[in-house]
Amino acid sequence: MAAAFSLMAGGAAAADKCGGAPRLAVTTPPGFCAGIIAGGFKFARGVQPLDNGDVLVVDLGGWQPNQGSIWTLRPSAAGYQKTLLMKKIDRPNGIVLGPDGLVYVGAIKRVFRFDPRDPDGTTKDIIGGKSGVAALPGIGRHPLTALRFDAKGDLIVNVGSGSDHCEGKGGRAPDPAKPCAEASGPNALGVLRKYQMQWPAGTVKSWEVHATGLRNSMALAVHPVTHAVWQGENSRDAIQAAMKGLKNDNDLPHDELNLIEAKGNYGWPYCYDNNVASPEYPAAKCASYRAPARLLPAHSAPLGMTFYTGDMFPPQYKNSLIMGFHGYREHGHRLVAFLPDAQGAPLGKKIELISDWTAKPNQSAGAPVDVKQGRDGEIFLVEDRSGRVVRLQYDAPAKASQGK
């Protein structure tokens, strides 16, 4: 199945294009533009550019089982050619390149891999399925699988929480005198797992719970210099239901940017923000948990991020963290860059690379998910509200002509 994504109607002005693609109606810094290179996906969630210029796209397909698919976008003179690679996958989400050059995909309860050069689309289970490695939980409120390889080639995998804040059936508040059962034990939810890999076989040797107290780690990235793992935390909802006098949860709690350390506990569901006790757990000893490295806007919903190592963007962006805010509320629908501080951590100035991504004629508001860097230093991202693939690029602004 193949189709070309039409770039523009004939005679369209150059100002309506970005690198030959239809320009997204958003605000970008001078010299940047965002172009729509593909569309028509049901629920685009993952993107992975390849060295040959192709771009792989993961389509969740919806929340019903086995509706997901993986597609190839191949650049051509007529635009990107869209070809179906495989279908009937159970809610695929994350996609990454492995140290072996193969593509690894996170689906419900499993991780599998394939070679994009294989015309038969042969897959092999790495976790769950027929791998012999126990399946991921894949249950509850956050069953989707996000993943990243660390600098050693081990696989970091998100296991999202089964609830919002450890509430019981019907939203019943948890017992503050008891630990949250789902966040405890060797099969805890709301954690990051680390799978120790054997190379060159690309098989799992063993696994462990790497970090805990993380409600939903959909955004993961590895720093190119320090090799530290960073996580974008999607914090809880409906905190106002347990806080007298708070009308809504528009500004609380903040989402978080966390520096992940082995065996660190980041406080979910007992604490939020900078180690503040949750209203359901007023006696929580929050000082014993790891505080976030940076607070993000409430409900910005970071679902994808990557460190920028390319040369296309201006030098200030080198090693910055580029993150998509997926949230449907005020602080969502944008792409931001966190510049490095003096120590190289993504704690410096925040710059909005794509803003004003609100609903407009013939264009819905943006809901970016996965964010990846392409071979030429451009940024590719997918968004699941309207199923588009967007390419952000930079061309140095032309110098103003000198008057006589």
Question: What is the residue-wise DSSP string for 190-211?
Answer: SEEEEEEEETTTTEEEEEEEEE
pTM of the model: 0.94
Q: Do 58 and 45 form a contact (C-beta atoms < 8 A)?
A: yes
Q: Rounded distance, CA 395 to CA 18, Å?
A: 10
332-380, pLDDT tens digit by residue? Answer: 999 999 999 999 999 999 999 999 999 998 889 999 999 999 999 999 9
Q: Do 28 and 381 form a contact (C-beta atoms < 8 A)?
A: no
How high is the pLDDT of residue 351? Answer: 98
Q: Rounded distance, CA 394 to CA 270, Å?
A: 43
- Residue 402 reports pLDDT greater than 60: no
Neighbours of 364 (CB within 10 A): 15
- Residue 12 reports pLDDT greater than 50: no
Query: In the predicted model, what is the mean pLDDT of residues 211-221?
Result: 98
Residue 51 Ramachandran class (φ > 0 left, ψ -120 to 50 alpha, else beta): alpha
Give 244: exposed, middle or buried? Use CB within 10 Å, 0-12, 13-18, 19+. exposed
Give, in order, the Cα–Cα distances in Å from 387 to each of 45, 130, 356: 9, 31, 18
- DSSP H stretches of helix in 127-212: none
What residues are paired with 209 via a beta bridge? 193
> Which of 32, 38, 17, 49 has its CA nearest to residue 373?
49
Helix (H) or strand (E) holding 148: strand 147-149
How high is the pLDDT of residue 121? Answer: 82
Give, in order, the Cα–Cα distances in Å from 395 to each of 30, 31, 311, 389, 392: 9, 5, 12, 20, 10
Amino acid at 119: P
How high is the pLDDT of residue 7? Answer: 42
Query: In the predicted model, what is the mean pLDDT of residues 44-69?
Result: 97
> Helix, strand, or coil here: 356?
coil
Give the model's confidence band at 1: pLDDT under 50 very low, under 70 low, under 90 confident, else very high. Answer: low
71-119, pLDDT tens digit by residue? Answer: 999 999 889 999 999 999 999 999 999 999 999 999 999 999 999 988 7
How high is the pLDDT of residue 396? Answer: 79
242's tokens: 């347990």
How high is the pLDDT of residue 268? Answer: 98
Secondary-structure percent of the chain, ordered helix, strand, coil, rounded to 5? 5, 40, 55
The mean pLDDT value of the chain amounts to: 93
Q: Rounded distance, CA 351 to CA 39, Å?
A: 27
Query: In the predicted model, what is the mean pLDDT of residues 212-237?
Result: 98
What residues are paired with 114 via a beta bridge? 103, 123
- Residue 171 reports pLDDT greater than 90: no
How high is the pLDDT of residue 14? Answer: 56
* Residue 338: half-sphere exposure toward Cβ, Cα within 13 Å: 25
Q: Which of the residue ranges 27-31, 113-117, 131-135, 394-398 would you say has the lowest mean pLDDT?
A: 394-398
Give the model's confidence band at 3: pLDDT under 50 very low, under 70 low, under 90 confident, else very high. Answer: low
Share of residues in the chain with pLDDT > 90 (%): 88
Q: How far apart are the first and last CA of the chain?
A: 58
Helix (H) or strand (E) holding 87: strand 81-89
Q: Rounded distance, CA 111 to CA 90, Å?
A: 11
| Architecture of the domain whose range is 19-168+182-394 | 6 Propeller (2.120)
